[in-house]
Structure 1
Amino acid sequence: MKDSKPARTVYLSNLSLKEAGEKWLSELAKQDLLAPLAGETVPVDDSLHRVTAEPVFALASSPHNHCAAMDGFAVRFTDTVNASEAEPLRLSLASQALPLDTGDPMPEGFDTVIMIEDVDPVSREEIEITSPATPWQHVRTVGEDIVATELVLPENQLIRPVDLAAMLAGGVTGVKVRPRPVVSIIPTGSELVQPGSELHRGDIIEFNSRLLAGMAAEWGARAVRHEIVPDDFEELKRTIADAAQNSHIAVINAGSSAGREDFTMHAIRELGEVLVHGVRIRPGKPVVLGVVDRTPVLGIPGYPVSAVLDMELFTRPLVYRLLGRSEPARRKVSARMPRKIASGLGAEEFVRVKVGKVGDNLVATPVERGAGALMSLVRADGLLRIPEDSEGVKADQTVTIELLKELDDVKNTIIVLGSHDISLDILASELRKSYPSLTLASAHVGSLGGLMALKRGEAHLAGTHLLDEKTGDYNISYIQRYLGDNVGLVNLVFRQQGLIIAAGNPKNIAGVEDLVRDDIIFINRQKGAGTRVLLDYKLKQSDIDAVDISGYEREEYTHMAVAAAVKDGAADAGLGILAAARALKLDFIAVATERYDLAIPDRHFDSDMIQALLSVIRTRGFQDRVMELGGYDTSQTGKLVGER
């Protein structure tokens, strides 16, 4: 029996982004696949955010008759020429001055309006005026706004609310617009399950199609999400062929690389033509660009960060061209990059960054760089492009950032770097609720990393819980050592730290002393984390050498990541907070109660943003939500530690 699976293939091409983009668009243009779509007529009432397919001309004038621009009296200006302050003039309400309201048509033979506040009603039959009127004063003449046959909107105009109103005012009730390009999104992979399904080991929730469809809709397309296609070559070909018949663009998500079950390139090649396979970008290299049945077809990676980038780079231009529009450019800003970023030669890298205004400067800080880090897309404020012939960015280098958010939102972002704590997530939520214009953005670099970030001017504040083994106190000695005295220290919480272990404690772990057992695998926090400092202190107290602990060198960056490793069986124990253990229904062995503080440099302490944040920290609402997590003490929350 013939094997229906194609042979494994390496990348057919490995073009630069510029080369791939030019080849993609030029080949599609040669096949006449980028021409704006022919128009369809829709009611003007339904045309908001559509694109005009031809010029729109007024069918009627607006106003279509002379009408009053003010409340008052319609008069003939020749009847008013002798009026003056010295000799007021009286006009008959029966024949010389007719009352009317704003918008009323002008009576036949009358050519001006006197505002009601400029007349004196002397009787039921007469009014008195003290100055002459000029011809057509306070009168909207025929066509004052729009003249019949006048151009209202050009071709390829994105219809705004004001455009909709102008068409209706000009007598236009139907408008020819570009059809929304149909973009088919095809999720692939036998491991995928729909959201809400019962999850089994190896299952992956299918969310990419919703993400990609949302992007297409934002650009003006109509996205059609297909059902999940398993790793079956023939079924994939049938689905692609159907999408090519019924859409303007088809996007296959996952299976675009060169692995054992990466069928996308082979399917496109059998059905049509592969133009590009592999682009020198990071993330997003394994992209496939081709044509099937005169339809552009793209194969993009399954990792969400790669998928989003390839969708932006190679699908977005097609949608805008089919709509007859130019792609809107993102705003670019200059920002300081306080820390060094290494990047490998040979691929243009797109680095997601947080951006905030710290002092007088915009400062950019990289977020997670993994292609599968979905939350890095949520947290990112901008993109930094590192050219393929560059090895990265030097510390304190000024770089150009493409903003993913409005600049005002970036400027209203409070950046906190340092140790991870779940209460920071609650604080971010409560801050946004009380101050909708403000955002708290946190990145987890460890307590010591947070203090160093303050020293480099990367953040407004840092979360820290560094234990001084000599004094038994927290944070103060480290701040004095690295930052000096110009820092305020505010307590956020006291919290329980301990060993997070599997539910039911199947390994019968009793304490830190058991970590040296041969059957125990540990998961650690990164160097510089306060939790790791605490662990080393406890090991020293128990006279335990770290080299005797299996897994001591394995590192995670958050308490929840440690808990997840234990939950999944990748580790038997890890040091973390009680709230993380409770969140994943794990057991917990208390080791210490520690103080978690916020270090705030004096230059930021009295700013409106920081004072707003402190006001939220001191609310009962925030503190009650923290206490509900378990393992916290908020009796000192919001209070200064020592003097400022």
Structure 2
Amino acid sequence: MVGPVPERDVYLHDVPLEEAHARFAALLERLGCTASLSGESVALREALDRVASAHVPARLSSPHYHACAMDGIAVLAARTAGASETSPARLCLGTEAIAVDTGDPLPAGCDAVVMAEVVERLPGGEAIALRTPVAPWEHVRPIGEDFVASELVVAAGDRLRPVDLAALAAAGVTRLAVVRRPRVAVITTGSELVAPETATPRPGEILDSNAVLLAAGIEAWGGIPVVTARVPDERAALAGALDATLAACDVVVMNAGSSAGREDFTARIIAERGEVVVHGVAIRPGHPLILGAARGKPVLGIPGYPVSAALCAELFLRPLVERLGGRAVSQGEHVEVRLARKLFSPLGEEEFVRAVAAPIDGVLTALPLKRGAAVITSLARANALLLSPRQSEGYLEGARAPALLLRSRERIARTLLAAGSHDVALEALGAVLRTHGFDLVSSNIGSIAGLVSLKRRACHLAGTHVLDPATGGYNDAAIARFCAGEHVVLIGFVDRIQGLIVAPGNPLHLACVADVARTRAHFVNRQRDSGTRILLDYLLAQASMEPTAVEGYERIEFTHTAVAALVASGAADCGLGILAAAQALRCGFVPLADERYELATTAARLEEEPFQALLDILRGPDLRRTVAALGGYRVERMGEIRTPGAI
């Protein structure tokens, strides 16, 4: 156990993940937090998705009377004995045969119902004829057919579904005992935090997305989130917030302030009110996790970076909330995947890497997403977590690695992996695909790297716009070089305008790449082997200029919008990119070249269901209108299929 934390404590107590789990489990055992909370009585309509804390017997039988199961005639079965086509049974209406509807009580003196469809009315309308005999209790629901009063309808521990509530209603149960939902306080800390609805955050201000993340997670896991007002980086304020929530909540989550900076007080404040059993876990992301207790309540100090917060909450907070709420603790589905590209991981730390997985040629393949504890978009895009053990330094491309699925296998099977060049229009395509039940996830690694991935079966399709300086054409030569031996086809996507993304009004009066060098403008480039980088090198060669003449040639970004964002912020004067990105970030634009952007794939995949949906969307009018409205695109060739070499 970690003792009182000194004024400045660096978390040099990193423990392996399994040991952190063991220490926390032992602490929860001492606190009595290993079982579900006590029960509370709720109305039936409030019980959906709650967990029953006690067995619930039926108050009434269902049905609680002998009920007619058909529209027709109620009779005494014995009166129909011997009925046949040639010798029908004749029964008087109103005495021997009584008209009934489905759900009516079975009339006295009757023990069967004859379906209306087989009843033959005799002339005069006072009698009927039956040409087949009826068995006793035919088409009758006897008392207690479904269940009898006192029989069990719901067992303790059942998580209540709509059908369970319907069964309880049929049993006459209007209130029942359910496990109390744990109240979990969420204290987000940091003087830099501002509300998400802040219209224009100032530099240094951070929108408080973690409060939304943690509160939504707690609610999804069966708890009641109690989100406090944001607390500044002041020890007294943080201590006051903790004291206020301990009395009213079952668990407290303190977000940020868990590291060892000058304004990180969380560990000290928890230790002063109880104990800290873990401060630092050998995982990435999520190092500075704090696990402890204050005044008999579990307290978790979760790191402030969004991805770290999400992972630590999934690993430690979710099981606690589910257990206290009476739910079965989620385990997730562990699988083995083939890596679409190499993955380096630090030795001595258990790393969790967000990824997108999809079956490619029958093999579940995973594409690692952008790392970084603050890259929250990777959380939203990921459908799997890659697991790199402490003893591993990562995996080579094509190697098998353990992974945890974050979505169902059915959804993962409807995912398309795209690798290659970035384009804003791909996001529009992905949005439309989602409405058809498919996911499109793009890895912006550049056109040539995308084609290499296609050949290696590491993606389904590759976005490409590689200029051939010798001919002025696009993509054919690159496919011949990097996809040799593969039957590759090109799906038309967009023709687009590339140019210089500049500050509004083009204050440096740039008209060509030569002007970038002449004015010593701060340039931001794209990565090596990207189509945009190849175009830049071609334009420099046309101007008889060396790359070293461009200030910032080695400064790279991986998307057109990232380039535009730097220009919009003033961090760069210009960069090469597409018009749509410039317009999205309200930058100026100097057109320099028209180019063809296509989607490369193997011919055999065109018959697969996701590609059929893709082609239908590309050939329809809706996506074309959306993309054309972005600016700088022509969409006439969208959905056309060609073989490289045949323009």
**TM-score higher than 0.5:** yes
Gaps of 5+ in 1: none
Q: Secondary structure at the match of 2:347?
A: coil
Where does residue 93 of structure 2 map in the other structure? 93
Instruction: Give 2:237's aligned residue.
Output: 235
Matched-pair contact (CA < 8 Å) for 2:79–2:89: no
Letter in 1 for 2:135: T
Q: Does 1:169 align with 2:158?
A: no
CA deviation string 1:333-392 (max 9, x = no partner): 443223221111111111111112222222211111111111101111111111111111
Match of 2:529 in 1: 528
State whether residues 38 and 179 of structure 1, in contact with CA within 8 Å, keep that contact through their aligned partners in structure 2: yes
SS of structure 1 residue aligned to 2:247 = helix
For each residue in 1:135-189, what CA deviation from the matched residue of structure 2 results, as whole angstroms up to 9, or x when unmatched?
2121111111011110111111111011001111111110111121111111111
Give 1:399's aligned amino acid.
Answer: A
Which amino acid is the alignment partner of residue 81 of structure 2?
V
How far apart, in 2, do the equivalents of 1:81 and 1:524 lie? Answer: 94
1:542 aligns with 2:543: yes
Contact 1:58 1:150 in 2 (8 A): yes
Match in the other structure for 2:556: 555
SS, match of residue 327 in structure 1: coil
Q: Which residue of 2 aligns with 1:23?
A: 23
Aligned pairs (5 A) from 1:310-321: 310-321=312-323
Cα deviation, 1:83-128, whole Å, max 9, x if unaligned, reads 2334211112232221211111112232222222232221422111
Superposition pairs of residues 419-438 of structure 1, within 5 angstroms: 419-433=421-435, 436-438=436-438
Task: Describe the superposition over 1:172-211 as per-residue Cα deviations: whole angstroms up to 9, x where unpaired.
Answer: 1101111211111111111111122231111111111111
Question: TM-score scaled to structure 1, two decimals?
Answer: 0.95
Hey, what's the Cα distance between the residues in 1 that align with 2:296 and 2:532? 58
Q: Retained in 2: the 8 A contact 1:34–1:322? A: yes
Q: Supply the distance in 1 between the matched residues of 2:132 and 2:581 (Cα, whole angstroms).
A: 82
Alignment length, in residue pairs? 638
- 2:146 counterpart residue number: 145
Q: Within 2, Cα distance between the matches of 1:483 and 1:542?
A: 31
SS at match of 2:281: coil
Moved more, 541-550 or 411-420: 541-550
From 265, 270, 273, give the equivalent of 2:272.
270
Letter in 2 for 1:89: A
Cα offset, 1:518, TM superposition: 8.1
| 533-542 vs 291-300, greater mean Cα deviation | 533-542
Structure 2: gaps of 5 or more residues: none
From 306, 309, 317, the equivalent of 2:308 is 306
Q: Which residue of 1 aligns with 2:110?
A: 110
What is the aligned-residue identity percentage?
46
Deviations 1:474-512 (A, max 9, x none): 110010111136111133122221222222334444432
Worse-superposed segment, 206-215 or 94-103: 94-103
Partner of 2:629: 628
Q: Which amino acid aligns with 1:626?
A: V
Q: Spell out the pairing of 1:119-518 with structure 2 (5 A cutoff).
A: 119-123=119-123, 124-197=125-198, 198-433=200-435, 436-484=436-484, 486-516=487-517
Contact 2:351/2:388 (<8 A) preserved: yes
Deviation at 1:12, TM superposition (A): 5.3
Conserved? CA contact 1:68–1:101, under 8 Å: yes
Distance in 1 separating the partners of 2:182 and 2:222 = 8
Distance 1:601 1:100 in 2: 66
Bigger shift: 5-14 or 391-400? 5-14
What is the Cα deviation at residue 557 of structure 1? Answer: 0.6
d(CA) in 1 for partners of 2:350, 2:405: 18
Cα distance, 1:136–1:639 mapped onto 2, change above 3 Å: closer
The structure 1 segments of at least 4 consecutive aligned residues displaced by more than 6 Å after TM superposition are none
Give the conservation status (yes or no) of the 8 Å contact 2:319–2:330: no
What SS does structure 2 have at the residue aligned with 1:48?
coil
Distance 2:261 2:475 in 1: 49
Using the TM superposition, give the Cα deviation of residue 331 of structure 1 relative to its aligned residue in structure 2, in angstroms: 2.7
CA distance in structure 2 between the aligned counterparts of 1:574 and 1:50, rounded to whole angstroms: 55
- Whichever residue aligns with residue 76 of structure 1, its letter is L
| Bigger mean CA offset, 267-276 vs 443-452 | 267-276
Pairing 1:59-74 to 2, within 5 Å after superposition: 59-74=59-74
Q: Shift of the alpha carbon at 1:558?
A: 0.3
Tell me the CA shift for residue 289 of structure 1: 0.8
CA RMSD in angstroms comes to: 1.9
> How high is the TM-score relative to the length of structure 2?
0.95
| Contact kept? 1:518, 1:550, Cα under 8 Å | no
Cα offset for 1:519? Answer: 4.9
Distance in 1 (CA, whole Å) between partners of 2:482 and 2:183 is 57
What is the Cα deviation at residue 609 of structure 1? 2.1
Residue 617 of structure 2 aligns to a residue whose secondary structure is helix
Q: Deviations over 1:397-455 (max 9, x none)?
A: 2333322122222111222211000011111223334xx22222222111011101101
Partner-residue secondary structure (3-state), 1:492? strand
Measure how far apart 1:301 and its partner are. Answer: 1.2
Q: CA 1:544/1:150 → structure 2, altered by over 3 Å: closer, same or farther?
A: same
Structure 2 distance, partners of 1:81, 1:502, is: 96
Matching residue's letter, 1:97: A
SS at match of 1:390: coil
Q: Does the aligned pair in 2 maintain the 1:419–1:462 contact within 8 Å?
A: yes
CA offset at residue 309 of structure 1?
0.5
Are the equivalent residues in 2 in contact too, given 1:156–1:323 (CA < 8 A)? Answer: no
Residue pair 2:27, 2:292 contacting (<8 A) in 1 also: no
Deviation at 1:610, TM superposition (A): 1.6
Quick check: 1:237–1:271 contact (8 Å CA) kept in 2? no
Q: Deviations over 1:292-342 (max 9, x none)?
A: 122111111111111110001110111111112221332334432232211
Would the alpha carbon gap of residues 118 and 635 (structure 1) be closer, same or farther in structure 2, given more than 3 Å must change?
Answer: closer
Q: Counterparts of 2:36 and 2:91 in 1: how far apart (Å)? A: 62
Q: Is the 8 A contact 1:496 1:593 kept in 2?
A: yes
Check whether the contact 1:181–1:247 (CA below 8 A) recurs between aligned residues: yes
Does the CA-based 8 Å contact 2:215-2:225 persist in structure 1? yes
- Give the aligned partner of residue 606 of structure 1: 607
Q: d(CA) in 1 for partners of 2:619 and 2:172?
A: 59
Cα shift at 1:26: 1.6
In 2, distance between residues paired with 1:268 and 1:12?
18
Q: 2:116, 2:630 → 1: CA distance? A: 68
Q: Is the 8 A contact 1:244 1:297 kept in 2?
A: no
For residues 113 and 632 of structure 1, the distance between their equivalents in structure 2, rounded to whole angstroms, comes to 71
Counterpart CA distance in 1 for 2:8 and 2:616 is 60
Work out whether residues 241 and 271 of structure 1, in 8 Å CA contact, stay in contact via their aligned partners in 2.
no
Give, as a single letter, the amino acid of the residue that structure 1 aligns with 2:222: G
Residue deviations 1:509-553 (CA, integer Å, cap 9, x gap): 443224446853221111121111111122222232223433222
C-alpha separation in 2, matches of 1:584 and 1:79: 86
The CA distance in 2 between the partners of 1:6 and 1:572, in whole Å, is 47
Could you tell me which amino acid in structure 2 is paired with residue 495 of structure 1?
R
Greater shift, 186-195 or 324-333, is seen at 324-333
